[in-house]
Amino acid sequence: MKENKVINKEENIEISGNGRIIMGVDISTNCIGVTLLLDDGSEYGKVIEVTHIRPKIPTKIKGIEALLKKKIIFDEFIKQYTKYKIDEIIIEEPLMASSKSVVTVAVLLKFNGMLSSSLYETFGIVPQYISSYDARKYAYPSLLSIRKRSKDGAEYPYTKILNDVKKGHLVLFGSMAWDVDKKVVLQQLVDETYQNIQWVYKKDGELAPENYDASDSMIAALGWMHLQKYGPLSQDTMKVKNVVELEGRIEYDLTYWGRTEHKVIYSNKKG
């Protein structure tokens, strides 16, 4: 059995002969997010489909056999996309640092390898891989900022903040609390970017957790598209300019990919 609810599907989307279709895939053993993104030359492309699949198997089946049965379900699921001329397949690499145990890491790697093989066998395309950090950074560079607080919420000294600004020490989610739910932030960004997406809700009206797997697959595809289109982001290509110290704040411009973002950090200089 499988559980699959379409989140967004554009049946009548016009696919240009010059456009390319990128499939983004986010793999976990419980839910797999899948995105088809048309790179039509625009900054964010067009969504063909954003969805997920939860391969359901009897609970008595464990271990490798469980993974193999889930792979079979996934094999059947992805056959529906052979009607598209998919150009690239991008898989988000497992985030090892957040895994709870060596066993969990091993299982994720095995399943990732199995589904990578499935995608290659079905489409004849060697999948490319992108880390979750790079996927997020390239999909939404605006998330990069200077961090002004430590994990315990205490604000760093003004001199450290100013020095980090001048040296361009940018980190993802730097302007947000350490414990911010990153998946929620990313799903909201995807929702703002592609406003026709119909998300899945639970009976109580809350967003269903599978939305985050689906949006992660979108982030992988979008991040890869931006990387290929605009080039790498590094301290050589991202420049902090026009640093100004004002009362209660530091302002600066961040330039990358031919654009400029004006940023403000509120901090009081002491002493």
Q: Do the domain assignments include residue 22? A: yes
Find the CATH number of the domain harbouring 122: 3.30.420.10
Q: Do the domain assignments include residue 271? A: no
Is pLDDT of 6 > 70?
no
Is pLDDT of 19 > 50?
yes
Name the more confident of 95 and 32.
Answer: 32
Q: Do the domain assignments include residue 71? A: yes
Tens-place pLDDT, residues 76-88:
999 999 999 999 9
Q: Do the domain assignments include residue 245? A: no
pLDDT at 247: 93
Q: Do the domain assignments include residue 269? A: no
Q: Do the domain assignments include residue 238? A: no
Domains: count for the chain = 1
DSSP class per residue in the chain: -EE--EEEE-TT----TT-EEEEEEEE-SS-EEEEEEEE-SSSS-EEEEEEEEEE---TT--HHHHHHHHHHHHHHHHGGGGGS-EEEEEEEPP-GGG-S-HHHHHHHHHHHHHHHHHHHHHH--PPEEE-HHHHHHHH-GGGEEE--B-TTSPBPPHHHHHHHHHHT-EEETTTS-TT--HHHHHHHHHHHHSTT----B-TTSSBPTHHHHHHHHHHHHHHHHHHHHH---STTTSEEEEEEEETTEEEEEEEETTEEEEEEEE-----
Percent of the chain with pLDDT over 70: 90
Tens-place pLDDT, residues 190-231:
999 998 888 999 999 999 999 999 999 999 999 999 999 999
Show the domain range for 205. 2-142+180-231
Q: Do the domain assignments include residue 93? A: yes
Q: Do the domain assignments include residue 264? A: no
Is pLDDT of 65 > 90?
yes
